[in-house]
Amino acid sequence: MEYTEMKIRSDDIFKGKIVHLHVDEVELIDGSKSLREIIEHDGGVTVIPVDENGDVYCVRQFRYAFGESIVETPAGKLEKGEEPLACAVRELSEETGFTAEEYIYLGEFYPSPGYCHEKLYAYLALGLRKGKAHLDDGEFLDVVKYPLDTLVEMVMNNELCDAKTIIAILKAKRYLEGLK
């Protein structure tokens, strides 16, 4: 059965650089009313770059929301009107300096569909060539290299905590093993 929710009204609360928050009143299928707190977000990409030895280049950066540095696959936000693949090429180069001969689409996903409209696109980058990283102003991170199989073990041992990174690693592993 399709349980839609009808918008009655929408109140803008905040429009920032990253998030846009609005609170909507909705009518549920039983006629009752409820509020939905919704974050709009432009979305982004993540790229898992795997070289010919099976090594993966990740980034380690401070995440203010958690007050800790975490290991993630290279990633970034979509710019206005930017195609996800172009964003993947740009972010991989900016954060790690790598370009890739081939980008394989690993799918898209919603990090928090209960309250957030963010959509992320994932790519596997193969045929890597090293160039020079060129970070945005105010962006600080270290590039860290791990064998893909080590990253899979880290995922299973709960040593990696970023959702997009976990998805990119486990999907890339299955893809490269020819598992569907």
Q: Do 151 and 170 contact (CB within 8 A), yes or no?
A: no
Q: Which two tokens stand for residue 166?
A: 């976990």
- Closest distance between its own copies and the C-beta of residue 176, in Å? 12
Buried b or exposed e, range 94-117, using 16+ CB within 10 angstroms: ebbbbebeebbebeebeeeeeebe
Q: Cβ closer to its own copies: 29 or 86?
A: 29
170 binds its own copies per the rule CB under 8 A: yes
Q: Which two tokens stand for residue 87?
A: 């964003």
CA pair distance 22, 28, nearest whole angstrom = 18
Which residue of 50, 124, 128, 166 would you call a contact of its own copies, by CB under 8 A?
166
**Which part of the chain contacts its own copies (CB under 8 A), choosing from 79-87, 93-101, 125-133, 162-170?**
162-170
Q: Cβ closer to its own copies: 51 or 72?
A: 72
175 binds its own copies per the rule CB under 8 A: yes
**Which part of the chain contacts its own copies (CB under 8 A), choosing from 50-58, 92-100, 126-134, 140-148?**
140-148
- Closest distance between its own copies and the C-beta of residue 113, in Å? 4
143 binds its own copies per the rule CB under 8 A: no
153 binds its own copies per the rule CB under 8 A: yes
Q: How far, rounded to the nearest angstrom, does the alpha carbon of residue 70 sit from its chain's CA centroid?
A: 14
141 binds its own copies per the rule CB under 8 A: yes
14 binds its own copies per the rule CB under 8 A: yes
Residues 57-116 that bind its own copies (CB under 8 A): 61-66, 69-70, 72, 105, 107-116
135 binds its own copies per the rule CB under 8 A: no
Q: Tell me the Cα Rg of the chain.
A: 19
Q: Do 47 and 73 contact (CB within 8 A), yes or no?
A: yes
| Rounded (10°) angle between helices 148-156 and 163-176 | 130
Q: Which two tokens stand for residue 151?
A: 């990253």
Q: Cβ closer to its own copies: 129 or 156?
A: 156
